[in-house]
Chain A
């Protein structure tokens, strides 16, 4: 098996696993936070705070950078900083990301890595003497479990904050 082919299989596994988590985040994890965000930010010049958070999550390469962004917003001496601290929003958001995204990425990476180990080379590959197992093929490109964990963290945090923003806009415009 070649590196590109192994990456394709890996992408499918990641996509299936994160899609399941996406549903869980949408249904159960973001609604309370989104309601708080709507109460706090949907006024004056602060409507873009959640949009900015989504943009940050799409442009960074590590979950830690998203945490740093939230902390830097909450640390500001301005009215925006005060809003991020209102109702402990920043604290609760960081807590939710730790409890969901970071933990889920840890668990999913173990599950996916174990699943990869069980995938055997196809008979046709064995005949072409390309009998490498998928883990070894990924290793040829320097890809390891730490890379997988970071990829999952990033994908999950993007899903989480995108759902948060959608619920936030909805909550702000369609009062319950």
Chain B
């Protein structure tokens, strides 16, 4: 699908306008999954890793994917994580990753609305995937930033 410079400009601006909503959505979603931020730092500081704990390394891997991979790759990576955790008998961890996957699916749906708002009515698959990748990537970056932030405070509260 050939886009004009003006179309590209509109899409970029719409993505920027969406940033605040994506951040607020990420904060709300993560605050609703306490299993995540409760455990991360405790594992790093010598605590025994239990089912439900998500390590900082896992978050870093997720952040790297968010910055470099297309949305469908990210979703299939998380899906594999869910399956693997279920297979090795870690239902709480599997539940966390599955919850995140469902959130990503709902965030992905924003892409067609965003393009429609820019006047692009019937986008091809490639353009949809491009918009979806940017939206999912931004959302995940906010998810990881908020996870790490919440985790630090939670650990200090626990230690106090």
Interface membership of chain A positions 69-96, coded 1 if the CB is closer than 8 angstroms to chain B and 0 otherwise: 0011011000001000100001100000
Given the interface contacts A91-B153, A102-B20, does A142 sit within 8 Å of B146 by beta carbon? no
**Which residue in chain A gives the minimum CB-CB distance to B138?**
A64
Most buried by A among B16, B20, B22, B156: B20
Choose among B13, B14, B20, B152 the residue that contacts A64 (Cβ–Cβ < 8 A).
B20
New contact pairs (17) apart from A85-B156, A146-B17, CB-CB < 8 Å: A62-B16, A62-B19, A62-B20, A64-B23, A67-B145, A74-B152, A74-B153, A75-B148, A75-B149, A75-B151, A85-B153, A91-B153, A142-B6, A142-B9, A142-B10, A147-B13, A153-B20
What residues on B are CB-neighbors of A142 within 8 Å? 6, 9-10, 13, 118
| B145 and A71 contacting across the interface, CB-CB below 8 Å | yes
The 6 A-B residue pairs with the shortest CB-CB distance, nearest first, are A62-B19, A75-B148, A64-B23, A71-B149, A146-B17, A64-B19
User: In the assembly, what is the distance between CA of A64 and CA of B15, in Å?
Assistant: 12
| A63 and B20 contacting across the interface, CB-CB below 8 Å | yes
Does A5 sit at the interface, judged by CB under 8 A?
A: no
B60 to chain A minimum Cβ distance, whole angstroms, is 12
What residues on A are CB-neighbors of B9 within 8 Å? 142
Does B141 sit at the interface, judged by CB under 8 A?
A: yes
List chain A positions with a Cβ less than 8 A from chain B.
61-65, 67-68, 71-72, 74-75, 81, 85, 90-91, 102, 142, 146-147, 149-150, 153
B153 to chain A minimum Cβ distance, whole angstroms, is 7
A57 to chain B minimum Cβ distance, whole angstroms, is 14
What residues on A are CB-neighbors of B14 within 8 Å? 146
User: In the assembly, what is the distance between CA of A124 and CA of B141, in Å?
Assistant: 51
User: In the assembly, what is the distance between CA of A85 and CA of B16, in Å?
Assistant: 29
What residues on A are CB-neighbors of B134 within 8 Å? none
- Pairs across A and B, CB under 8 Å, 29 listed: A61-B19, A62-B16, A62-B20, A63-B19, A63-B20, A64-B19, A67-B23, A67-B145, A68-B141, A71-B148, A71-B149, A72-B145, A74-B152, A74-B153, A75-B145, A75-B149, A75-B151, A81-B152, A90-B149, A91-B153, A142-B6, A142-B9, A142-B10, A142-B13, A146-B14, A147-B17, A150-B19, A150-B20, A153-B20
User: In the assembly, what is the distance between CA of A81 and CA of B148, in Å?
Assistant: 11
Interface membership of chain B positions 109-127, coded 1 if the CB is closer than 8 angstroms to chain A and 0 otherwise: 0000000001000000000
**Which residue in chain B gives the minimum CB-CB distance to A143?**
B13
What residues on A are CB-neighbors of B16 within 8 Å? 61-62, 150
User: In the assembly, what is the distance between CA of A90 and CA of B146, in Å?
Assistant: 12
